[in-house]
Chain A
Amino acid sequence: GAGVSQSPRYKVAKRGQDVALRCDPISGHVSLFWYQQALGQGPEFLTYFQNEAQLDKSGLPSDRFFAERPEGSVSTLKIQRTQQEDSAVYLCASSSRLVFANYGYTFGSGTRLTVV
């Protein structure tokens, strides 16, 4: 596609519910990132994929967070047993470059998750 597409745009979950957030990167982009943006804050790194390999998951806040990219294109971020502190905008970004991404990434519009 022309840009990074994320779905759903908005998600309301009851505390304890599992959620799955989808990211469709730009076609052919090998690098894919997930970021979490809390209200009034800058985005914070969660995890990074190079094709289907998850090379860095150091930013995932707990073992309730899980991300996958099984075929090296679409990625899913899953949050189990959601808590109120998980409420945030989850951003996906992709890049055609493997390393030294001096040109930055292309971001999607994000999924706003609200846990009630």
Chain B
Amino acid sequence: GNSVTQMEGPVTLSEEAFLTINCTYTATGYPSLFWYVQYPGEGLQLLLKATKADDKGSNKGFEATYRKETTSFHLEKGSVQVSDSAVYFCALIFYTGTASKLTFGTGTRLQVTL
């Protein structure tokens, strides 16, 4: 079946540090890949996406590249801020014939300190 594996958190970084959150997936076919972010007390927000191999998604300084050869979609940011503290979810979407379903990883909590 389809699944997503993320590195466990929490990840604690100082402000302006480099961030990497690893994500690998298992899927039949070629799913689209997403990173969602969940700030405290809020719903899931789409952070970035990539729909085919070698695509790079980017938003708000975050980047992730769809690597088919390693089935990975690692999230990176060059310089994190305290406001980036949140839970980050890697996800894939695939069409079952009746619906396009999102499958999520377990999430990685990021804590950024001054």
Contact = CB atoms under 8 A, between A and B. Distances in A.
Contact-size category for A: 20 to 34
Interface residues of B, number: 27
If over half of B's interface residues share one DSSP class (helix, strand or loop), that class is named, otherwise mixed; here it is strand
Contacts, number: 74
A104 B34 contact: yes
B20 to A, nearest CB: 19
Interface stretch (B11-19, B73-81, B103-111): B103-111
Interface in A62-97: 91, 93, 95, 97
5 contacts: A31-B100, A45-B102, A99-B100, A104-B34, A105-B102
Interface of B: 4, 32, 34, 36, 41-46, 49, 51, 89, 91, 93, 95-96, 98-107
Interface of A: 4, 31, 33, 35, 40-45, 48, 50, 55-56, 91, 93, 95, 97, 99-110
